[in-house]
């Protein structure tokens, strides 16, 4: 269940894109993005902006089947982008997406790539798509990435929900190899207040991937700042990073990180 309101998702798409625009001012966008091999920073941002425009069109047209998305995946034409051009283009696309999502509301029926089938999916998904690609770009150009606590909490929740969908076993049968006796992982943010309940338990011991917000013992525990946990589960930051404490079965953590993902 989403923790943020539909309007907040819409506002955050714009806010996160504005933060991204500010971070790339004067930057060299030809630098490679380690977390997105094969892309430089300008290509990454063309991918993000293209994705936002694709989602806006999907929502505006209330599509009932998937639409082509090749235009923001083939990035060969965007190797030398100018931040003075790219920044305003990104902000414009984010504003259009937010406006269209607000006009549609969260409950309008349409095609989505996962179960649910409403516009709410696109509001939440494109907030976190924007956050993570902001992290990709920010880190690539050598700046520090930060994200507001509520957004990071919801980002991990959304990742857990999408990553636990049964459809993954159909699309990627090898993900069943994650399941096994004693396989539990615990993620604990160390820089949040207790009322944030910033702890997640991933349970792989049954016949499905199960997760919950909980303070429980596990085969392996990962403790660190909330924003770092977000980046670790998205495989944007190595688990063995300064400030991250890993307790228990490190090999299980490595195995899980190797095989997880919903993108």
Domain range annotation of the chain = 6-145, 154-259
Half-sphere exposure of 71 (CA within 13 A, CB side): 9
Q: Residue 2: what pLDDT?
A: 63
0.85 surpassed by pTM:
yes
Q: Residue 171: what pLDDT?
A: 87
Determine the CATH number of domain 6-145. 1.20.120.450
* Domain made up of 154-259: CATH architecture: 2-Layer Sandwich (3.30)
Which of 5, 1, 20 minimizes the C-alpha distance to 102?
5
Tell me the average pLDDT of the chain: 95
What residues does 34 pair with on adjacent strands? none
Please write down the long-range contacts of 64-72, taking CB distance under 8 Å and 24 or more positions apart. Answer: 64/110, 64/111, 65/111, 66/111, 66/113, 72/46, 72/47
**Would you say 213 and 199 are in contact if contact means Cβ atoms under 8 Å apart?**
yes
Confidence band for 262, pLDDT divided at 50, 70 and 90: low
Q: Residue 161: what pLDDT?
A: 95
The structure tokens listed for 217 are 């013992």
Q: Return the percentage of the chain with pLDDT > 70, whole number.
A: 98
Q: Residue 186: what pLDDT?
A: 98
Residue 258 CA to residue 189 CA, distance in Å, equals: 21
Which of 175, 13, 26, 9 minimizes the C-alpha distance to 87?
26
Q: Residue 119: what pLDDT?
A: 98
């Amino acid at each position: 269940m989403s923790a943020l309101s539909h309007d907040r998702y819409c506002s955050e798409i714009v806010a996160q894109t504005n933060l991204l625009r500010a971070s790339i001012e004067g930057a060299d966008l030809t630098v490679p993005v380690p977390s997105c091999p094969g892309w430089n920073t300008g290509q990454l941002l063309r991918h993000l902006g293209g994705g936002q425009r694709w989602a806006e069109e999907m929502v505006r047209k209330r599509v009932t089947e998937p639409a082509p998305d090749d235009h923001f995946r083939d990035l060969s034409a965007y190797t030398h982008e100018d931040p003075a051009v790219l920044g305003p283009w990104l902000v414009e696309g984010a504003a259009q997406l937010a406006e269209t999502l607000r006009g549609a509301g969260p409950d309008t029926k349409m095609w989505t790539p996962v179960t649910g089938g409403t516009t709410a999916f696109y509001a939440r998904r494109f907030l976190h798509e924007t956050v993570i690609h902001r992290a990709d770009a920010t880190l690539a150009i050598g700046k520090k990435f930060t994200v507001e606590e509520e957004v990071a909490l919801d980002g991990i929740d959304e990742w857990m929900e999408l990553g636990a969908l049964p459809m993954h076993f159909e699309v990627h049968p090898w993900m069943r190899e994650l399941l096994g006796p004693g396989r539990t992982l615990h993620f604990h943010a160390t820089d949040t207040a207790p009322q944030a309940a910033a702890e997640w338990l991933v349970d792989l011991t049954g016949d499905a991937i199960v997760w919950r917000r909980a303070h429980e013992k596990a085969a392996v525990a990962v403790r660190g700042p909330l924003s770092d946990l977000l980046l670790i589960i998205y495989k944007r930051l190595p688990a063995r990073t300064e400030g991250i404490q890993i307790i228990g079965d490190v090999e299980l953590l490595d195995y899980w990180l190797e095989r997880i993902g919903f993108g």
